[in-house]
Amino acid sequence: MTAGYVTIAQNNSTTDYLELAYLQALSIKLTQKKYTNYTVLVDSKTRQAMKDKYLEVFDNVIDLIQDDSIDDEWKLANEWQVGRLTPYRETVKIESDILVTTNIDHWWPLMQEREVCICTNIRDWEGNINNTMAYRKLFVENNLLNTYNGFSYFRFGKTSQKFWQQLRYVYQHWHIFRDRVLKNCREDRVSTDVAYAVAARLVGEEHCYLPYATPSFVHMKGAVNNWHSNVNWQDHVLAQFGNDGVLSLNTQKQMYPVHYFIKDEKFVKRAIRSLERIYQSRT
């Protein structure tokens, strides 16, 4: 297994991230042809919630080295461990609330041009690039690379190793960057996109992305889709899964991974039922 997808799943009081990872794994298994390996990183508490049906779809379940988010409800600080724990020489680190809706195997040779290739372009539900900075004042004021950690490629090498080292440093010394380096920073705990951007600055931004439209994904946040910034996207579009497992929004098939981000239980359960039916028919 030289290449594959990795996500972190740490359940909290409101969200079953392990279930989201299972849904994501189903979407990858149904849509990809070559790159189908899937690994989930878990803490000890989340591992206890593992179900047999999850293990039938996950290729690997790996325990975190340590839990730097043990006291946090919003568990972000273990991101650096992907670089230490991935079983693959080539890894796409993907957030667990993203669905892979169509075959993107052809992205991998393109991403291989860098050891680190972070997504810097997002799209609305109609597939149009919309890099609105409505949620990104800190990025603008500090001229940071417009990083979206939701879909990021890493190939084993010196540059990627340095990136993971710097990312760990950013998380564990965030107060230094917050108080002494960044302008007008109000993040008591660093968000993952910001942590990636700062680590990219330390490594050299030119080594951390490609000036292309891919990798990319659909982001269902309101402002990205020209709605009110706090709107629930499910109030505006109808989500349906076809017999091929592909997600359609208002009958438009999604040709890029979809970051649905609002972890509505009804949507997740319905999506799992749809994809399970197809997956079971093929196995």
Tell me the C-alpha distance between 59 and 67, whole Å: 22
CA angle 184, 188, 192 (to 5 degrees): 90
pLDDT of residue 203: 98
The two tokens of residue 264 are 């509505």
Tens of pLDDT, residues 89-123: 999 999 999 999 999 999 999 999 999 999 999 99
Q: What are the structural domain ranges in the chain?
A: 3-282
CA 248 to mean position of chain CA atoms: 20
CA distance 230 to 209: 29
Cβ burial of 52 (10 Å; 0-12, 13-18, 19+) is exposed
Instruction: Report the candidate in 200, 210, 161, 158 with the shortest Cα–Cα distance to residue 177.
Output: 200
**Structure token pair of residue 27:** 């979407």
In this prediction, the residues of the chain whose per-residue pLDDT falls under 50 are none
pLDDT digits (tens, 9 = 90+) for 232-254: 999 999 999 988 888 999 999 99
203: DSSP letter = H
* Interstrand relation of 216-219 and 258-259 (parallel, antiparallel or unpaired): parallel
| pLDDT recorded at residue 283 | 80
Q: How many C-beta atoms surround the C-beta of residue 277 within 10 A? A: 12
Question: Alpha-carbon distance 62 to 64, whole Å?
Answer: 7
Residue 109 has a pLDDT of: 97
The SS3 of residue 242 is: coil
Q: Which of 18, 15, 96 is nearest to 51 (CA)?
A: 18
Per DSSP, helices labelled H in the chain are: 17-31, 44-47, 52-55, 82-85, 107-111, 137-142, 158-172, 174-176, 192-203, 265-282
Instruction: Round to whole Å and give the CA distance between 271 and 31.
Output: 14
Structure tokens at 124: 């609305």
pLDDT of the residue at 1: 66
Select from 3.40.1360, 3.40.1710, 3.90.550, 3.10.50 the CATH code of 3-282. Answer: 3.90.550
Token pair recorded at residue 191? 């968000």
> Is 0.75 surpassed by the pTM of this model?
yes
pLDDT at 242: 87
Distance of CA 69 to the CA centre of its chain: 18
